[in-house]
Amino acid sequence: MNNSYTKPVKNYIQYNNKPFTTKQIADETGFDLLQVKRVIAALLKKEAIKAISKDGKYKIYIKNPDFKEEPVTNDYGYNYRMMKKMYNLIKNKKVSSSRKLGEMTGFHRRAILRYLKAFASMKIITLELGYYKVINFEPDFALVGKKVEDDILIVLRENDSGGKMARREKVLKDADGREYPAKIIDPQLVKRDTVVNRVMKRAFRLHTKIMDEKDRITSDIDRYLSQTAEQYGENWKGNAELVSFDGKYKVEVRNRERIEFDEKLQVAKQKIDECLKRWTEDSNVNLQAVINEAFQVDKKGEIAKHRILALRKYNIKDKNWKQAMDIIDEAIQVTSTKQYIAFYKRKSPNKPFELISLNFSAI
């Protein structure tokens, strides 16, 4: 049944609150009479409406006041039709994996894993001898998703001693790649290895999720700032502070450029050295020390950029010095720009903002 016809017809029936015929709906909606008849036939089959009499060649229908249409999803975003289909397949067929369920249903494997986790967390299914098995024959699908344990399917596999996965002898590898049967290793070490690997998988998933959320947040902010600048015919540049209407939340955006110096920096250094030679007799010893320190490299062989840039603050009236400062300006190369986003909250407008620590900049 074509949804483009179904929804408007159902809306007409829902809000009209009067007896109707197929022709009336066709006239009101502008749809083809045959399409309306198909929708009406489907609604009759579901007992959403019922016929009360016949007016000429058209039947007269009314809404069925006792009909309660099953919601598409429950409060936790799980589709009833998908839940029931998976539940019945597990109940009546031998299902050993999410891949098998995908072949049976045509559903995406990621969605199937989500539903399997929800079922297992609510004690609707378990795993026995390598196959999923229904253990709750009267599940309340409205509650599915209220509790979800991310590692529940792994736990089921580990606890299914008779299953195909469990019958395979567990093997641990050491740092050199050598393999050892788990049964000959200290049980405490095996448990520790299991826990570490389990929590690391969760950490990797969390890291990926944070990266995804960071991309979404950054995209939302950049789009808003770009649209704001476009109103005035400009491109957005620089930093920003965005505060909610009630003043409780603040998003702070800072863009920092990473700079490097090209080969011109050495030319600038030579100009500065010439100045120092000419100033030898009456120069400020402290200034010489500052200049020499600015060009010192650290253990990694890198120059402290902020010290080089700080030389430009000295107001020295010397032709060579000014040329050196101009050369330093030319030597600056912006190699990348990194965006920092910080989130703040406060209890009331007269209270200071408190940082919500996410450490986005490290990701």
What is the per-residue pLDDT across 132-171, written as a single tens digit (0 to 9) for each?
A: 999 998 888 889 999 899 889 988 888 875 554 444 568 8
| Domain around 288 | 238-363
pLDDT single digits (tens) 71-103: 678 888 898 888 999 999 999 998 988 888 888
Closest by Cα among 98, 100, 69 to 7: 69
pTM of this structure: 0.42
The yes-or-no verdict on residue 304 having pLDDT over 70 is: no
Which positions ≥6 away from 270 have C-beta within 8 Å?
none
Give residue 159's identity as a one-letter amino acid code.
N
Domain identity same for 29 and 104 = no
Q: What is the mean pLDDT of residues 342-363?
A: 82
The count of domains in the chain is: 3
C-alpha span between 104 and 82 (Å, rounded): 12
Q: What is the mean pLDDT of residues 108-119?
A: 91
How confident is the model at residue 123, as a pLDDT? 93
CATH number, position 43: 1.10.10.10
- For residue 266, is it within any domain? yes
Domain identity same for 351 and 267 = yes
Token pair listed for 251:
């998003």
Query: Reduced to 3 states, what is the DSSP secondary structure of residue 307?
Result: helix
Token pair listed for 179:
């393999």
Domain identity same for 101 and 31 = no
- Tokens 């979404």 identify what position? 216
**Could you give the angle at the alpha carbon of 228 between the alpha carbons of 223 and 230, nearest 5°?**
90
The yes-or-no verdict on residue 232 having pLDDT over 60 is: yes
pLDDT single digits (tens) 257-268: 777 778 888 888
- For residue 74, is it within any domain? no
Greater confidence (14 vs 206) lies with 206
- For residue 103, is it within any domain? yes
Domain identity same for 59 and 88 = no
